[in-house]
Amino acid sequence: MTNIRKLTALTRAGIIEALQFRLGTIVTLLGNLIYLALVYYLWKAIYASSGMDVVNGMTFYDTMIYLVLATAMFNLLEVFVIWDMSRSIQSGEIIMHLLKPMRYRLYTFWSYSGSHVISFFLTFLPTFVLVFIITKGAIPLGMNLVYFVLSLILALMINYNVEMLVAPICLYTESTWGVNIVKETIVLLLSGATIPLSFFPEGIRKVVEYLPFRAIYDIPLSILLGKAGKSSIGSVGGCLCIQIFWIVLLSIFGNLFWNRAVKKITVNGG
């Protein structure tokens, strides 16, 4: 078992590093504000044109909260594991990582944890408060917040595991950009980050339900909005279980793939 203090040291270092990106933080926040405005006006116009208050069980405010927080989550969840790994493979640095007394997968995860913490407080939380004010309290305040944070952490782990599952492909092809864009497009569309899953046509939605991607954006946001089976403990628990199931499954496959890939590195010498 890896020493927990070693891991929190990584988190701390990550926090300090993220804080030094001071202007970057402010810019991200500002960018999110503008993005929020874009989403607001677009969907306001869409709902106004439709002449209905509720479309597919989503009100304008629901959609608004969903999409804006999905964007904030996108910033929060964003890791560059694929890029990092491909760069360290090309420079041969990967060998140094393998020599470290900590497993690469774990090391990377905890290195990113610091920036996740910072990003949560500096961009996600302000965005959340802002959206709460703008939508005049359309977000229910109760136990759903606790479940949401829990689900968010699980989402983070799923996202990381997806990334880790895809990243070793860089060992077999030099196409970092290509691999990354394919992954990102699939995740963003099928997780409901660009458009809420409830707007999807019935057939596609059925398929998407059985994929891991919806556990990244759709489940946490549905829990927050109280749409996960009317927020009863049972179905929320069910959602969390689905998330945990995907974490386990993805990390098993990720580990298998990673171990195979490492063998390739050690055989070829980087």
Work out whether 50 is an interface residue with other proteins (CB under 8 A): yes
In this complex, which beta carbon is closest to other proteins, that of residue 31 or of residue 237? 31
Measured N-to-C along each axis, helices 104-119 and 60-77 cross at an angle, to the nearest 10 degrees, of 130
Residue 136 near residue 32 (C-beta atoms within 8 A): no
Crossing angle of helices 60-77/22-50, nearest 10°?
150
Verify binding: residue 31, other proteins, rule CB under 8 A. Answer: yes
Q: Rounded to whole angstroms, how far apart are CA atoms 103 and 235?
A: 35
Residues 167 and 79 sit within 8 Å (Cβ to Cβ)? no
Return the bridge partners of 135, or none: none
- The two three-digit tokens of residue 3, written as one number: 């020493």
Measured from the CB atom, the residue of 172 and 245 that comes closer to other proteins is: 172
Which of residues 3, 8, 56, 266 is near other proteins by CB under 8 A? 56
Tell whether residue 121 is a contact of other proteins (CB under 8 A). Answer: no
Q: Report the alpha-carbon distance of residue 104 to residue 158 in Å, rounded.
A: 17
Cβ-based nearer residue to other proteins, 59 or 235: 59
Furthest-apart CA pair in the chain: how many Å? 64
| Shortest separation between residue 239's beta carbon and other proteins, angstroms | 23
x/- map, 137-176, other proteins, by CB under 8 A? ------------------------------------xxx-
User: What is the separation, in whole angstroms, between the first and last Cα of the chain?
Assistant: 28
- Per rule CB under 8 A, count of chain residues that contact other proteins: 47
Binds other proteins by CB under 8 A, chosen from 12, 206, 260, 263:
12
Binding to other proteins by residue 181, rule CB under 8 A?
Answer: yes
Q: According to CB under 8 A, which one of 2, 8, 9, 27 is a site residue for other proteins? A: 27
Of 67, 156, 179, 236, the one binding other proteins (CB under 8 A) is 179
Q: Helix 4-20 and helix 22-50: axis angle, to 10°?
A: 80
Q: Note whether 35 binds other proteins by CB under 8 A.
A: yes
Q: How far is the CB of 128 from other proteins (least distance, A)?
A: 18
Is residue 154 within 8 A of residue 110, CB to CB? The reply is no
User: Based on CB atoms, which residue is closest to other proteins, 184 or 255?
Assistant: 184
Q: What are phi and psi of 125, to 5 degrees?
A: -60, -50
Binding mask 185-224 for other proteins (x = CB under 8 A): xx-xx----xx---xxx-----------------------
Please state the φ and ψ torsions of residue 210, each to the nearest 5 degrees.
-90, 5
| Amino acid code (one letter) for 190 | L
In the complex with other proteins, which residue's Cβ is closer, 37 or 233? 37
Q: Tokens 């140094």 label which residue?
A: 96
- Contacting residues toward other proteins, per CB under 8 A: 12, 15-16, 19-25, 27-28, 31-32, 34-35, 37-38, 41-42, 44-46, 48-50, 55-56, 75, 173-175, 177-182, 185-186, 188-189, 194-195, 199-201
